[in-house]
Amino acid sequence: MPFPELVARVAEVRDRIGLAVARGGRGQAVTVVAVTKTHGAEAVQAAAAAGVGDVGENRVQEALAKMAETSAPVRWHLIGHLQRNKVKSLDRFALFQALDSSRLADAVNEFGVERDNAMKVLMQVNFAGETTKGGFYPRDIATESERLAGMSGLEVKGLMTMARLDAPESELRQTFAAARDAREILRSAGHPATELSMGMSSDYEIAVEEGATIVRLGTILFGERE
Ligand SMILES: *Cc1c(COP(=O)(O)O)cnc(C)c1O
């Protein structure tokens, strides 16, 4: 059986999340998204068998290939950049977590209107200011969320962010708190923004203490990627 330790790792992660929710005192429910990128479809199967019903992929082509190889009953999340000419693949995903530009938003909206089905998205926000990472800059959130509020082809469920890798705890908390504040801006603009997707293998407990409702975990579940 591939990933023989997965069941135990999922149990430990869920325990730690429970403790972090208690420490954070916000009482939120937390969805674990198993990030299966670079692993084969057997990782998706293993996640489902271990009771994790949400999987995340950062590349569309890789995700579609795995979808074709497994009928595991999971919700697929796209957590990486999407090219505008590939928006049609969004109807295969439960949630697109990486809406990172106005032009992409226009394309997603157009597709949702055409399908008569609002695409569920998270705005990706670059709080860490790293130029290597995509996403809206914090200063643009208010304007952009007002603009998106007029679009019937997409539904902004919240936001996704990545903290700087190896950042000290104080900086992680600052980033995650900024994300929490930004969610309020989305709500004020009328979006049904309940989700805060933040926290990866190295920082998910702090993210949950700060209010994460979705954590995206790869390494801690499946081991190091090649
Ligand atoms: C790869 C990836 C993750 C998972 O990272 P780990 O450190 O392996 O848990 C989470 N979010 C995004 C956007 C990713 O690309």
**pLDDT truncated to tens, each residue of the chain (226 aa)?**
789 999 999 999 999 999 999 999 999 999 999 999 999 999 999 999 999 999 999 999 999 999 999 999 999 999 999 999 999 999 999 999 999 999 999 999 999 999 999 999 999 999 988 888 889 999 999 999 999 999 999 999 999 999 998 899 999 999 999 999 999 999 999 999 999 999 999 999 999 999 999 999 999 999 999 8
With both helix axes pointing from N to C terminus, report the angle between 141-149 and 169-188 in degrees, rounded to the nearest 10: 30
What is the value of pTM for the model shown?
A: 0.97
CA pair distance 190, 123, nearest whole angstrom:
14
CA 114 / ligand 1 centre spacing (Å): 32
217: Cβ below 6 Å to ligand 1? yes
39: Cβ below 6 Å to ligand 1? no
CA pair distance 85, 91, nearest whole angstrom:
14
The DSSP secondary-structure symbol of 140 reads G
CA angle (183, 188, 190) in 5-degree steps:
100
216: Cβ below 6 Å to ligand 1? yes
CA 115 / ligand 1 centre spacing (Å): 30
CA pair distance 188, 66, nearest whole angstrom:
38
Q: Give the atom of ligand 1 at the shortest distance from the alpha carbon of 225.
A: 8
CA pair distance 28, 57, nearest whole angstrom:
24
